[in-house]
Amino acid sequence: MNKSPITSLDPDDWVAFRQQSHRMMDDMLDYLEQIRQRPVWQDIPETTRARYSEALPREAISIAAAHQRFMEEVLPYSAGNSHPGFMGWVQGGGTPVGMLAEMLAAGLNANVGGRNQMPVEVERQIVRWMRELFSFPETASGVFVTGTSMANLMSVLIARTAALGKEVRQTGLCSDHIRLVAYTSAEAHGCVAQAMDLSGLGKQALRRIPTNAQHQMDLASLKAAIAADRAAGLRPFFIAGTAGTVDVGAVDDLHALAALAKAEQLWFHIDGAYGALGMMSDKVRPLLRGIENADSIAFDFHKWGQVPYDAGFLLVRDSSKHMDAFAAPVAYLRREARGIAGGSPWPCDFGPDLSRSFRALKTWFTLQVYGTEKLGQMISYTCELAQAICSAVQAHPELELLAPVALNIVCFRYRGLPSVQLTDHESDRLNQEIVFELHESGVAAPSTTIVDGHLAIRAAIVNHRTSEEDIQRMLAAVIASGRKLISR
């Protein structure tokens, strides 16, 4: 028989391959070291975009040639979330430590669906660390997933199975089950409604509770909604609190929500996508009081945790309820007392994925190499930067703050000098245009959102690289662009 055409390289090829690997590593380290000198973002040239409609490659090219294409066509045109000037949405900056760990994980090519292997133990170590961080009991379970969108969906499925019993996995939802209703803040992330949709319970069964002046779910309205649903013969089963709303960074009163959920015997889930890891920060931890009473917490290591994408996580207080929703005995996944098929339960028993990447490794490296103290200080620092933006906005006659700043997100707008009277429509258009100009200039990249009906410039400081200089540059660019546009 012939050899496989893509088995190991021969010794001479390995020498060249190592040299190539050093060039690739150097290029990526140069990119991270010198990222400040690059624009935050630049639009993709049409010629570059067009090259990505080419036919399936039949002939091989060298790795050096593919690398060159990457350097010229891909690297300069990412969204820019690793750049210190990036303040859009809620995205982490990644680290060189995470990058190297990801390379090690890919080299090992572990399939962390299960089996008797150290990569599963590394994931279990992260589960133990997260139990400790959130003061969860020894019996709590956890699992890596793509992100909080997936973790929120899984929490709805776990709560559904806990409410209806495991039979629901056989029967599916029948008309009687459609009475299940869930509750979340009107400012919750869209993936909470999506979770209701994908779970078959339907978005209509999600009550979006109004918020108070602090943008927190209003408790009196929540209680009234639960009572009204019970009176109507419906069956409340799930409350999703938010630790760090995506628009303004508000934290629901988690302590009160936990107490209410307990009294009403509802599952209490927390969407802590970016805010939950604030537990590492002395400044943020007090705001999260009550998080330790949740039935489940969804969060992302890839946001405030700075682990490279993707690294979402779901922590569940009662591991048996967690497994009830997902574990399924099948012959080809038989568990054994010895050998590679030992060591059950496996990560695949705690979610819908069977084959899974070794997300735990880059998280394990990040938590060890930086330590939770430094990571917590970095999180506190992003909040201090947000407070500095907030103060600068309030002190400037041409800027207006649109929401209180609880964590690391500032929503504001350019309004011109007090003598200028803009209609709501003009103000929205002006601020949208300012953000377009900022993106296209490559200087800074805030995003936009709607706060109380007004279009806001939204600066979320998530990236550990962002400094005071970057926020000054962003504010100066907003003001310069606003003045120029308003004078037209």
Ligand X SMILES: *Cc1c(COP(=O)(O)O)cnc(C)c1O
- Which region among 22-30, 227-235, 271-279, 375-383 touches ligand X (by CB under 6 A)? 271-279
Dihedral, CA of residue 87, residue 89, residue 90 and residue 94, to nearest 10: -60
Closest CB to ligand X among 351 and 416? Answer: 351
Q: Candidates 40, 87, 90, 105: give the one binding ligand X (CB under 6 A).
A: 90
CA distance 219 to 223: 6
By the rule CB under 6 A, 246 interacts with ligand X: yes
Q: Which of 271, 295, 349, 470 binds ligand X (CB under 6 A)?
A: 271
Which of 313/358 has CB closer to ligand X?
A: 313
Report the alpha-carbon distance of residue 169 to residue 162 in Å, rounded.
Answer: 11
Q: How far is the CB of 326 from ligand X (least distance, A)?
A: 19
Q: Is 412 in the site for ligand X (CB under 6 A)?
A: no
414 part of the interface to ligand X, by CB under 6 A: no
Decide whether 229 or 300 has the Cβ nearer to ligand X.
Answer: 300
Q: Does 274 bind ligand X (CB under 6 A)?
A: yes
Question: Is residue 313 part of the contact set for ligand X (CB under 6 A)?
Answer: no
Closest distance to ligand X from the beta carbon of 187 (Å): 9
70 with 334: CB under 8 angstroms?
no
User: Is there a contact between 151 and 314 (Cβ–Cβ < 8 Å)?
Assistant: yes
Q: Establish if 148 lies at the interface with ligand X (CB under 6 A).
A: yes
Residue with Cβ nearer ligand X (150 or 225): 150
As a whole number of angstroms, the distance between CA 324 and CA 457 comes to 44
211 touches ligand X (CB under 6 A): no
Give the angle 114-119-125 at the CA atoms, nearest 5°: 100
Give every CB contact of residue 260 below 8 A, 6+ residues apart in sequence: 219, 222, 223, 239, 266
Which one of 99-107, 145-153, 157-165, 471-479 is the stretch in contact with ligand X (CB under 6 A)?
145-153
The answer for 36, left when phi > 0, alpha when psi is -120 to 50, beta otherwise, is: alpha
Q: At residue 254, what are phi and psi to the nearest 5 degrees? A: -65, -35
User: Which one among 312, 376, 416, 446 touches ligand X, defined by CB under 6 A?
Assistant: 312
Give the residue at shortest CB distance from ligand X: 147
Q: Which residues pair with 238 in a beta bridge?
A: 182, 267
Binding stretches for ligand X (CB under 6 A): 90, 147-149, 189, 191, 242, 244-246, 271, 273-274, 300, 312
